[in-house]
Amino acid sequence: MAYQLATDINYSEVINFDDNSFTIAGPGAERGIDKCFIDTKGKSYADIIYWMTENQENQFQRLGLNFKSLWGRPLKAIDCQNLFCETDKYCRAAFPDLKSNRKKIKAKFTATPQPIDYFYPPKWCINDKVQETLAQRLPPLEIPNLQDNGQQLSLELDSLVKTTSEIPNCISKQHNKNGQKTPIKKSSLFQNPDTEKSQQLCLF
């Protein structure tokens, strides 16, 4: 935990040490390494993480993996430590029969309802590249002729509002026909005089 906190602080401008100057495997990373290697030949968990960090390009080529780095930024020791931990999590879900001293996942993913404005640490100098890449991927915004289509849209919405405003009256008549004495109240939308006067909606 202290290692992760120190790394998080290092993402800021407060301190600046080399990401590969120190590493230590957490319990999850240790289980992940045990699942990935049959024999570590006496190397410590930290040695395995450093070995992965130093040999990542060779291993990508050997396995034929088209690894997409963060705009040229390679995996650091903390990244490899986290990847081993994630490997253990995925294995517990996908291969529950594998021997492990931990069976369950502590928490399941829950989406955040509000959009999050993600960005990378400014010291990495890749945020501009991210924006450039996103601009290339997004299709160009095509705005139709508002003078023509806007009039048609206004007419369609005008018809929709008129049709909708007639619904309470129709319901009221139907209830009176059936002998029901309880009046049907119009919703607040149709009780608003300003809303009844303006039946055209403008989106632009």
pLDDT one-digit tens code per residue, 65-103: 999 999 999 999 999 999 999 999 899 888 877 766 666
DSSP state of 122: G
Residues 6+ apart with CB under 8 A from 93: 105
Cα atoms in the 13 Å half-sphere on the side-chain side of 41 = 3
| Phi, psi values for residue 74, rounded to 5° | -75, 170
Degrees (nearest 5) of the Cα angle 44, 23, 39?
25
Mean pLDDT of the residues in the chain: 77
pLDDT for 109: 79
User: Does the pLDDT of residue 8 top 90, yes or no?
Assistant: yes
Distances (CA, A) of 56 to 61, 76, 203: 9, 10, 52
